[in-house]
Structure 1
Amino acid sequence: MGWFEDYFEFEKYNTDMRTEVLAGITTFMTMAYILFVNPAILSDAMGKEAFNSLVAVTALASGFATILMALYAKKPFALAPGMGLNAYFAYNVVLHMGYDWRVALAAVFVEGLIFIVLSVTKVRSAVIHAIPISQKYAVGAGIGLFLTLIGLNDVGLLTASVTEAGVLNSTGLNDAALLRGETLLFFFGLFLAALLISLRIRGALLISILTTSVLGWITGFAPWPDHVFSTPELSYTFMKMDLKGLLNVGAIGVIFAFFMVDFFDTLGTVTGLSAKAGFLTKDGKVPDAEKVLLTDAVGTTVGAILGTSTVTTYIESAAGIEEGGRTGMTSLVTGLLFLGIGLFIAPLAQAIPAFATAPALVIVGYFMISAVKEIDFSDHTEAIPAFLVLVTIPYTYSIAHGIGVGFISYTLLKLFSGRARELHPLMYVLAAVFAIYFAYLGGLF
């Protein structure tokens, strides 16, 4: 064990092997729900026959990226396919915009390459400083509403659909679904998750998913799994990217949306986790930030090759940090658990019903909407564009549209209110790019 203690600098961070291992297990427990939820979301776009591959791919991408974080960046941060971006991939890019899922994977792959370039160059700093903080928080909160809407729609509580123009057609309550057994089990799972979170019990979402599933199997509202373990199979999604399909003007907006959300979500998450772990310097910077961001970028690129949507750093890593995890040993344990368990549970994951995973989507949405409190509502030039982002994302079923509306409205409002000096020059470029993108979608050229 001496090598691990020296390599991860246990003495410097005042930790020990037992603490780090327990912290890694804790982080895995809080994140393991992604092994059930990510395949459920992506298989809606790729086809149900992709489900088994997606379970293995989710585990492999998460395990690889998290172990890379452990060995290269040496931080107690774990990674997995990002919630929100997987929904954008499936429900917007593929099911609504009509791109083949292989083209969407290619967009994720290219986005990862762009992220890698920016992580090793000074361009990264320029992009970071260009985007106003209110827009960053608004995008995160908007994605939270997006996930909640998807969760409620999955269980049949809402009768939502999207028009050809990309506008949410209806969010009416489906009264007929209220007293169905599946709906009641959904409410049970939602309450259980909320209660466990309130009691600060680790792995609340995982416990809720598994408990609700077992109740569904016992009551006959979902079939029991035929078996629990199987040999991992990756052939359905591995190396299926269609790079030629990206030779389309509309794909630029898709790539840009993937990149923007991934880039700034990672920055916010890493900053928050570093603050919690006591890593931040006196001027608020994250030590070895380049290594963390590069790990995230490589994880996304490799994830796309394997066949999953954007891989990103998870805020659930805070659970392990709270348990005392301070080094890469924590993330090494988490990554090994993803590989050791997640690769082989496809039959179990496939038997998890939608009413058991939908509560997790709603709860994740709740966590993400909390970003609203960071927006300065006393400044209308900040708050109004943020509000437009917040409502545009769920009402258009599109993260890209929300980002575009936010950037354009923010730039115009600052410019015409006499506060152009507050605009970074790059914001003019970004606003113009999105204006052209919307004009393209509207058929002007």
Structure 2
Amino acid sequence: MEKLFKLKEHNTTVKREILAGLTTFLTMAYILAVNPNILGTVMNRNGVFVATALASAIATFIMAFLANYPIGLSAGLGLNAYFAYTVCLGELANEAEPFRIALTAVFVEGIIFILLSFFKFREQIINSIPQNLKFGISAGIGLFIAFIGMQNAGIIVNSDATLVDLGSFRNLDVVLALIGVIVIAALVHYNVKGAVLIGILAIWIVGMILQACGIYVPAEGTSLFPSFEGGLAFDGIKETAFKLDFGWAASHIIQFLAITFSFLYVDLFDTVGTVVGVADKAGLLDEKGNLPRVGKVFLADAVGTTAGSLLGTSTITSFVESSAGVAAGGRTGLTALTTGVMFLVSLILSPIFLAIPSFATSPALIYVGMLMLMSIGKVKFDGDIADSVGAYLAVVMMPLAYSIATGIMFAVIAWVILKVVTKKAKDISPVMWVVFVLFALRIVALVTNFQ
């Protein structure tokens, strides 16, 4: 362990690292319930569960042995919502198996990131994007995730008159989900490790008690109680693994590239922001504020994403919940190794994770959405007008247009145009010009309905 992870150099021990890894897993484990619920709207839920657990383990192992950082990885919230709701149920709703196209885009994104990880392109890209836009995009994704969580629980429902409306409190799903948000918030206040996961399990248990008492009636053919009668849910992987569709991508190249770029763009913010934040908390940044071996960190993310797309899940990214393990003393890859092992162990518990209902996982989405929305406090609205409007459009367009990609597109296009109009074109880097052109082509494709 000392040779692999340099424990003494990082002033830590095997016991401390293992406990930190377990802590990180507890704070991340909710994704094993949330991801199948989100991607399960367009894919086989059992297959998504297995793919998520395996891809998370693979990526986290790479982080452990290659980068030696205490960071866990799994399917990113926001990216999975974009995958299911924007791409599959939105842009590709008329296609026979839209999830195959989306998985292909994720695969291509992963390959691009693997190539970029051998150079410093990802760092250059992220450094070229204005800070205000970064914060605005993060906040917008937070609102979008929270909105999806509220819809899944029935807190927000469709309305012919006002488009959206408040759900009925006669619906126990609504009541239980709202209680779940309060429970998670209270647990976080008291620094309870694994607060999000405990909140999910607590509300699920309440639901099972209510079902046993005849108060809660689940949908026909379903139950809140897990069933092991069918054995472990491994067969579903056949419905999700190696389902890429390069034929569609080749015949709809502009639309496919736009989808791929959106995955690529959002993943940049998730990974870079999370890694720097966690590393800073762990005291791993150097005196210049840079992260040593950052290329290897990105490579773990990229390989995990590629593996996840082949297995059948959305983009894999570093989790901000890793900061919980760091707070528990994690400083090396042994923490990540422990987290990865726990993802493999979770496979034998698949019936439990797959039985967790939406009203129990929705509070996690709503709470994580709040964490991401906190970035709005870093946005400077009293400075450059291009920065202000760009960030504002990112925040409002994502939930209102029900699309992360649309929010990013409006933010970037408005920022570039306003920089030109205000005679500050010199502020526009070559990278931002490339991004602008790609999104402009996307608008042309939408206007002409070119597919």
Moved more, 66-75 or 132-141: 132-141
1:323 & 1:226 partners in 2: Cα distance? 34
Q: Does the C-alpha gap of structure 1 residues 404 and 312 become closer, same or farther in structure 2, counting only changes over 3 Å?
A: same
2:377 & 2:288 partners in 1: Cα distance? 23
1:345 equivalent in alignment to 2:349: yes
Report the CA distance between 1:6 and its aligned residue. 2.2
1:196 equivalent in alignment to 2:187: yes
Question: Helix, strand or coil: the match of 2:74?
Answer: strand
Residue of 309, 323, 327 corresponding to 2:328? 323
1:322 & 1:402 partners in 2: Cα distance? 33
Report the CA distance between 1:188 and its aligned residue. 1.4
1:254 equivalent in alignment to 2:259: yes
2:449 & 2:36 partners in 1: Cα distance? 37
Partner of 2:436: 431
Question: Helix, strand or coil: the match of 1:326?
Answer: coil
Partner of 1:130: 128
What's the CA shift string for 1:242-284, capped at 9, x where partnerless? 1222121211111000000112221111111111111111111
Amino acid at match of 2:202: T
Partner of 1:410: 415
Partner of 2:110: 112
1:125 & 1:51 partners in 2: Cα distance? 35
Question: Helix, strand or coil: the match of 2:284?
Answer: coil
Residue of 42, 57, 72 corresponding to 1:78? 72
Question: What does residue range 141-156 of structure 1 map to in structure 2 within 5 Å?
Answer: 141-156=139-154
Report the CA distance between 1:231 and its aligned residue. 5.4
Question: Helix, strand or coil: the match of 2:163?
Answer: coil
1:95 equivalent in alignment to 2:95: no
Question: Helix, strand or coil: the match of 1:440?
Answer: helix
1:54 & 1:393 partners in 2: Cα distance? 25
Moved more, 234-243 or 329-338: 234-243
1:41 equivalent in alignment to 2:59: no
Partner of 2:301: 296
2:122 & 2:321 partners in 1: Cα distance? 25
Partner of 1:227: 228
Residue of 378, 381, 386 corresponding to 1:381? 386
What's the CA shift string for 1:170-202, capped at 9, x where partnerless? 22223xx22322221111111101110111111
Partner of 2:244: 241
Asked whether the 8 Å contact 1:136–1:264 carries over to 2, the reply is yes
Partner of 1:170: 163
Asked whether the 8 Å contact 1:115–1:263 carries over to 2, the reply is no
What's the CA shift string for 1:116-139, capped at 9, x where partnerless? 111112433432232112112211
Report the CA distance between 1:444 and its aligned residue. 6.8
1:396 & 1:300 partners in 2: Cα distance? 26
What's the CA shift string for 1:293-330, capped at 9, x where partnerless? 01101110011001000000000000000011000000
Report the CA distance between 1:169 and its aligned residue. 7.5
1:254 & 1:314 partners in 2: Cα distance? 23
Amino acid at match of 1:157: I
1:115 & 1:320 partners in 2: Cα distance? 26
Amino acid at match of 1:239: F
Partner of 2:366: 362
What's the CA shift string for 1:4-28, capped at 9, x where partnerless? 1222001110000111011000000
Q: TM-score, normalised by structure 1?
A: 0.93
Report the CA distance between 1:345 and its aligned residue. 2.1
What's the CA shift string for 1:131-174, capped at 9, x where partnerless? 11211221111111111111111111212489xxxxx9822223
Q: TM-score, normalised by structure 2?
A: 0.92
Q: Does the C-alpha gap of structure 1 residues 411 and 169 become closer, same or farther in structure 2, counting only changes over 3 Å?
A: farther
Aligned residues: 431
What's the CA shift string for 1:206-237, capped at 9, x where partnerless? 11111111111111124222239625332111
Amino acid at match of 1:345: L
The percent identity for this pair of structures is 41
Amino acid at match of 1:302: A
2:233 & 2:359 partners in 1: Cα distance? 27
CA RMSD in angstroms, aligned pairs only: 1.7
Amino acid at match of 2:381: F
Question: Helix, strand or coil: the match of 2:6?
Answer: coil
Asked whether the 8 Å contact 1:55–1:345 carries over to 2, the reply is no
Q: Does the C-alpha gap of structure 1 residues 381 and 232 become closer, same or farther in structure 2, counting only changes over 3 Å?
A: same
1:14 equivalent in alignment to 2:26: no
Asked whether the 8 Å contact 2:386–2:416 carries over to 1, the reply is no
Moved more, 115-124 or 406-415: 115-124
Residue of 47, 52, 60 corresponding to 1:58? 52
1:135 & 1:114 partners in 2: Cα distance? 23
Amino acid at match of 1:232: F
Moved more, 179-188 or 314-323: 179-188
1:137 & 1:115 partners in 2: Cα distance? 22
